A and B are shown apart, each in its own frame.
Chain A
Amino acid sequence: MRRGIAQLVAIGVVIALLLTVVAVVFKWLPTSASEEFDRIQAVYWFATVISIGIFALVAAVIVFSVWKWRVPLDDDADGPPIHGHTGLEIAWTAVPAILVIAIGVVSAVVLARNGEAGTRPLEINAIGQQFAWKFVYSDYDDLRSGQLVLPVNQEARFTMTAVDVLHSFWVPNFGQKMDAVPGIETSIIVTPTREGEFQVVCAELCGFGHATMRAKARVVSRAEFDRWIQEQNA
C-alpha cells in the first residue's frame, strides 16, 4: 500500500503542476490599472492556489482508483465493506472549513479596503441610459462628458444612477463593477494607477443595444486632466 500512496501522490503532483502551468502561462486576468484590482488579483491568486490543490487531490484519487482497481465488467466479486472512517470524515469537514474561512477573511479585508474613498476623492456621477454612458463631474460644475477621463493615482468615487433600466458600470482593467439601478444610488471607488486608454463596458443586460453600450475611459496625468477640464469648459 505504501507504494500505492506514493503513486497517488505522484499523480496528484503531476496534475497540480500541469494546472499551475496553465494558471501561470496564460494571462487569465487583464492588466491591472487600479489599486483595487491589484488587491482583487491577490485574492484571486490565493483562491487559485487552494483550488489547484483541491482539484488535484480529487482528480488524482479518481485517476488512481480507476487505474488501480478497475475490473472487467463480468467480474462479480464485491469490494471490502468499508462504511466510513470517522477521523477522515472529521478531517474533510474541518480542513475545507478552515480554507474557506481563510478565503472569506482575506476577501472581507480586501472588500473593506476597496471601499475606502481616501480623504478627498474625485466625485463622478455615472449615468446609465439605453444605450450610452454619461459622466458628470460634480467637482467641476457638473461638467458632462460621454468619455471618461481620470487623473492617475487619484481616488475617484463613482456614484451610479440609471434613467431607464439596470446597467452595470465596468472597466475590466479597473476590476471594480457596480450596477446602475433606477431609483437608488450606488457607488464604487476606483484609484487608477496606470495611464492609458481603457473601455467602459455595460455588464448588465439592458435591451437590444446592450452589447454595444461602451464608452472610452482615459487615465491621464494630473496636468493633462486639468487641461482637459479647461478644454471642456471652454
Chain B
Amino acid sequence: MTTTLEHATPDHPGPDHGYPEHYEPPRGPYWRLFFGPGLVRGVWMALAFFVFGLLIVAGLRWWWGWDPILHWEVIAAVAGMTTAPIGFLAGIGSFDYWLHYIVGRPTRPEDHSGHGATSWKDYFRVNTDHKVIGIQYLVTTFVFFTIGGLMAMLFRAELAQPGLQFVDPQTFNGLVSVHATLMIFLFIIPAFAGIANFVVPLMLGAPDMAFPRLNALSFWLLPIAGLMFVTSFVVSGGAFGAGWTGYAPLAEGQPLGQTFFNIGVQWAGASSIMTALNFLVTIITMRAPGMTFWRMPLLVWANFTTSLLVVIATPFIAGSQFFVMFDRIMHTSFFVPDGGGYVLGYQHIFWFYSHPAVYIMMLPGFGIVSEVISSMSRKPIFGYRLMALSLMGILVLGFSVWAHHMFVAGMADWLRVPMMITTLLIAIPTGIKVFSWIATLWRGRIHLTTPMLFALGFVTMFTIGGLSGIYLGSVPIDIAASDTYFIVAHIHYVLFGGSVFTIFAGVYFWFPKITGRMYDERLGKLHFWLTFVSFNATFFPMHYVGLRGMPRRVSDYSEAFGDLNFAISIASFVLGASFVVFAYNIIVSWVRGPIAGGNPWRAHTLEWQVTSPPPIFNFDEIPQVVGGPYEYGVPGARHAVMSAAAAEPQEVRA
C-alpha cells in the first residue's frame, strides 16, 4: 500500500539536513543572481528564447522565399507564445534536475533546498513542497479571479442599459470571452488543484506528492497561460472574442488575439494534465498503511475521479485548438467547409472535453463539501460508499453526454434523444449526492461556521443549477432556451453558486491548517450573506430575461429588458464588492489572526492530526490508518494512530 520514495523515511533529517555534499554554487552572488535558477534568469532566458524563435521563423521564411520574412502573427505564435515561455521555465529552473540527468552531468544530491518555505521569497521560486505549491496555486488563482471579476463588472456596466455606452461590440466580445476563460482555466480548475495539492497528500498520510518536480512545473505553466489570456487585449484587433467556446469558423477569421486563446489553452491544459497524473499516482501508490480505498476521505475520491476526467478529456480541447490554429496560421481546412472541412467537428471535439470539464469543475467541490458537512454536523457522511460510487457514475456517464451542448447546432437528429437520456440520467448520481448531504445534517450537531454556510449555500444553489440543467437536458425546452440568458443563469448557478461557493468553503475550512491562524468568523458570515443574496439577485432574473427572448453574448438588446438588466447590473456590483470582505478577512487574518491550533474543527481526517501549518515533511512518523474517515459519534473509533509526539498541541512555526 505504501511506497518508500526517497524522502518517505520516518527518520528523515528534515530541513536542517546536514548532507555533507550540500550543493554550493562555486561562483559569487552576482553570478548566482544571473545564472542561478530564479526569476532573473527566467526573464533573460525568455528573451533569449524569443529571439531564438524569431530566428527560426525568419530563417525558414527566408529560406523558402516567403514574404514577409518577419510575419508577426507567426512570430507571436512561435516565439512569443511557445519558445519564450519554454525559456522562462528553463530560466526559473524547472528543468535543471532533469537536464543534468539527461546530459549525464552529476545531478545535485537531493538536499531539499527547493522544498518548503522559510520566507515569502520562497513562493516565487520553483518549489517542490506540495504545501508551498498549494499556496502558490491559490494565491495565483485568486489574482486571476479578481481580474476576471473586474472584467464582469465592466461588461455589466455596459449591459445596464440597452444600446452601447462604454465599449464597442468587439471589445465587449473580448471582455466576455476573456472573463469566462479566466474564470474557468485560471480560477475554478486550478483553485481546486491548489486546495487538493495542499490537502490530498496530508489526507493520505504521505510526505508529498509522488512527483514533486513535476508538481512545481505544472504550477509554473499557469501564470504563463493567464498572462496570455490577459495580454491578448493589447495586440492589434483586441482580445479573442469568439467566446470561451471559441467556435469555428468565427474563431478562424478573428484577429491575432484568438491565437492567444489557442495557445494559452495548451499551457493551462498541460498544467492540468500533469497535476492530474501526479494525483493519480499519488493516490494509488502513496496511501499510508491501512488507508484502503474505502477508507479514503471523499475529497480524495473526488480528486481521483476528477484526475481521471482530466487525463482522458483534456487532450481533446488541446486538439481542437491546434486544429483551429492550423486553419488560421497554416491555412489547413479542418473546419473550413470550402476546403472539405466539417464545421460541427469542432463542436464535437470541443464538447467532448468541455462537458467532462464541467465535472472537472464540480467534483472537487463535491469532495470539499463532503468534508465540511460531515465534520460540521458531527456525523459520519451518509452513505459513504454510494457517495464514492456516484462519483464514479458521474465520471462514466459524463463522457456520454457532450452533444447536449449541440441540440440546436444542426448535428445528426438521431443523436438527440440518446444524448438527452444520458444527460437526464446524470441527475441520478447527482441527486444521490445532494440527498446524502442533507441526510448527513439530519439529527447532527450543526456548527454554522462560515465554511458550513458556504457548503449549505452550495447545496441549495447547486440544486437550482442542477434543476435548470434538467430543463436544458430536455431537448424541446433546450431548443427554446439554448443560447439565451437562461444558459448564463444556469452556468452561474452551477459554477458560481456551485464551484465558487465550494472553493470559498474550502478556503475557509483549511485556512487554519494552511496558515496556522483563524479567520474572522463575523466577517466570514458577512461575506457569505452578502454573496448569497447578491448572487441570487444577479443571476436568478437571468432565467427570466433568457426565456423571454434575450440571447446571450450580446452588447445591445431589446428595450423590453432594460429595467431588469439595470437591476441585475446593480446586484452584480454588490456581488463584486462582497469579494472585498473576503480578501480583507483572508489577508488580515493571515497576518495576525489568532493562532488556530492543529485541529480547530475536531475533524478526523489525517491533515488535522498534525500541527498547523504541518511540518515540512508532513508526518514525523507515518500514520497507521485503522478506520473510516468520518466516524463521528462512534465510541472509541479512530481514523488513524499517529505517533505520540504529533498528538501534542504544538507551537506554530514562525
- Contact surface of A with B, Cβ cutoff 8 Å: 26-30, 37, 39-40, 43-44, 47, 50-51, 54-55, 58-59, 61-62, 65-66, 69-71, 73, 75-85, 88-89, 92-93, 96-97, 100-101, 103-104, 106-108, 110-111, 114-115, 160, 164-166, 168, 170, 172-173, 175-184, 186, 199, 201-212
Interface readout for B398-412 with A: 1 if CB under 8 Å, 0 if not? 000000000011100
A89-B438 in contact (CB<8A): no
- CB neighbours (8 Å) of B242 from chain A are 205
B379-A79 in contact (CB<8A): yes
B555-A30 in contact (CB<8A): no
How far, in angstroms, from A144 to B547 measured CA to CA in the complex?
30
Given A179-B408, A211-B554, CB of A61 within 8 Å of CB of B548: no
Shortest CB distance A115–B (Å): 7
- CB neighbours (8 Å) of B557 from chain A are 211
Q: Chain A interface: which of B42-50, B75-83, B272-280, B459-467? A: B459-467
B444-A65 in contact (CB<8A): yes
Interface readout for B505-534 with A: 1 if CB under 8 Å, 0 if not? 000000000000000010000000000000
8 Å CB contacts to A: which residues of B363-385? 377-380, 382-385
How far, in angstroms, from A26 to B460 measured CA to CA in the complex?
22
- CB neighbours (8 Å) of A166 from chain B are 247, 249-250, 343
Q: Chain A interface: which of B295-303, B312-320, B424-432? A: B424-432
B386-A37 in contact (CB<8A): no
Given A43-B474, A183-B343, A208-B169, CB of A62 within 8 Å of CB of B378: no
How far, in angstroms, from A209 to B169 measured CA to CA in the complex?
7
- CB neighbours (8 Å) of A43 from chain B are 474, 476-477
Nearest B residue to A105 via CB reads B421
Given A83-B382, A115-B413, CB of A54 within 8 Å of CB of B445: no
- CB neighbours (8 Å) of A106 from chain B are 474
B380-A83 in contact (CB<8A): yes
How far, in angstroms, from A171 to B456 measured CA to CA in the complex?
39
Given A81-B379, A81-B380, CB of A104 within 8 Å of CB of B441: no
Given A110-B476, A111-B476, A170-B551, CB of A81 within 8 Å of CB of B442: no
Q: Chain A interface: which of B4-12, B149-157, B226-234, B480-488? A: B480-488
B480-A177 in contact (CB<8A): yes
A79-B377 in contact (CB<8A): yes
A26-B544 in contact (CB<8A): yes
Given A40-B476, A111-B475, CB of A69 within 8 Å of CB of B438: no
Contact for A107 among B439, B447, B475, B637, CB less than 8 A: B475
Contact for A82 among B425, B443, B476, B543, CB less than 8 A: B443
Question: Any chain A CB within 8 A of the CB of B634?
Answer: yes
A101-B424 in contact (CB<8A): yes
B383-A89 in contact (CB<8A): yes
- CB neighbours (8 Å) of B410 from chain A are 160, 178-181, 184, 186
8 Å CB contacts to A: which residues of B116-145? none
B424-A51 in contact (CB<8A): no
Shortest CB distance A58–B (Å): 5
How far, in angstroms, from A88 to B382 measured CA to CA in the complex?
10
Summed over the interface, the residue pairs from A and B with CB atoms below 8 Å come to a total of: 265
B460-A62 in contact (CB<8A): yes
Interface residues on B, range: 35 or more
* Selected A-B contacts with CB under 8 Å, 11 pairs: A65-B438, A75-B447, A77-B445, A79-B379, A81-B633, A83-B384, A85-B383, A85-B439, A165-B249, A184-B343, A208-B168
How far, in angstroms, from A179 to B460 measured CA to CA in the complex?
34
B386-A168 in contact (CB<8A): no
Question: Any chain A CB within 8 A of the CB of B98?
Answer: no
How far, in angstroms, from A71 to B445 measured CA to CA in the complex?
6
Given A28-B548, A59-B460, A115-B413, 10 further pairs, Cβ under 8 A: A59-B463, A77-B378, A84-B382, A97-B428, A180-B410, A181-B343, A182-B337, A204-B247, A205-B243, A208-B241
Nearest B residue to A113 via CB reads B476
Nearest B residue to A107 via CB reads B474
A177-B482 in contact (CB<8A): yes
- CB neighbours (8 Å) of A201 from chain B are 549, 551
Contact for A100 among B382, B425, B521, B547, CB less than 8 A: B425
Contact for A104 among B420, B435, B548, CB less than 8 A: B420
8 Å CB contacts to A: which residues of B630-647? 631-634, 637
Question: Any chain A CB within 8 A of the CB of B253?
Answer: yes
- Contact surface of B with A, Cβ cutoff 8 Å: 168-170, 173, 241-243, 247, 249-250, 253, 337-338, 341-344, 377-380, 382-386, 408-410, 413, 416-417, 420-421, 424-425, 427-428, 431-432, 434-436, 438-439, 441-449, 456, 459-460, 463-464, 467, 470-471, 473-477, 479-480, 482-484, 521, 543-544, 547-549, 551-558, 602, 631-634, 637
- CB neighbours (8 Å) of B631 from chain A are 81
How far, in angstroms, from A168 to B464 measured CA to CA in the complex?
27
Given A100-B425, A107-B475, CB of A40 within 8 Å of CB of B480: yes
A211-B431 in contact (CB<8A): no
How far, in angstroms, from A62 to B342 measured CA to CA in the complex?
49
A203-B445 in contact (CB<8A): no
How far, in angstroms, from A106 to B476 measured CA to CA in the complex?
10
How far, in angstroms, from A65 to B631 measured CA to CA in the complex?
20
- CB neighbours (8 Å) of B382 from chain A are 82-85
Contact for A54 among B386, B448, B463, CB less than 8 A: B463
A66-B446 in contact (CB<8A): yes
B549-A76 in contact (CB<8A): no
A181-B449 in contact (CB<8A): no
How far, in angstroms, from A212 to B169 measured CA to CA in the complex?
10
Nearest A residue to B337 via CB reads A183
How far, in angstroms, from A27 to B545 measured CA to CA in the complex?
11
Contact for B555 among A70, A83, A211, CB less than 8 A: A211
Nearest B residue to A201 via CB reads B551
Shortest CB distance A49–B (Å): 11
Nearest B residue to A22 via CB reads B540
B449-A73 in contact (CB<8A): yes
- CB neighbours (8 Å) of B634 from chain A are 81
Shortest CB distance B576–A (Å): 23
Count chain A CB atoms within 10 A of each CB in B442, B548, B634 and give the residue with the most.
B442
Given A79-B445, A80-B633, A81-B631, CB of A182 within 8 Å of CB of B551: no
A182-B456 in contact (CB<8A): no
Shortest CB distance B175–A (Å): 13
How far, in angstroms, from A231 to B425 measured CA to CA in the complex?
53
How far, in angstroms, from A129 to B431 measured CA to CA in the complex?
43
How far, in angstroms, from A178 to B435 measured CA to CA in the complex?
37
Shortest CB distance B425–A (Å): 7
A61-B424 in contact (CB<8A): no
| Closest 4 A/B residue pairs (Cβ) | A183-B337, A172-B549, A186-B410, A78-B633
A69-B344 in contact (CB<8A): no
- CB neighbours (8 Å) of A54 from chain B are 431, 463, 467
A65-B432 in contact (CB<8A): no
Nearest A residue to B338 via CB reads A183
B432-A104 in contact (CB<8A): no
How far, in angstroms, from A96 to B435 measured CA to CA in the complex?
11
- CB neighbours (8 Å) of A103 from chain B are 424, 470, 473-474
Count chain A CB atoms within 10 A of each CB in B344, B448, B476, B602 and give the residue with the most.
B476
Given A59-B460, A79-B633, A103-B470, CB of A164 within 8 Å of CB of B249: yes
- CB neighbours (8 Å) of A108 from chain B are 417, 420, 475
Shortest CB distance B392–A (Å): 14
A89-B441 in contact (CB<8A): no
Shortest CB distance A155–B (Å): 17
Given A170-B483, A208-B170, CB of A66 within 8 Å of CB of B441: yes
Given A55-B464, A71-B447, A81-B631, CB of A183 within 8 Å of CB of B427: no
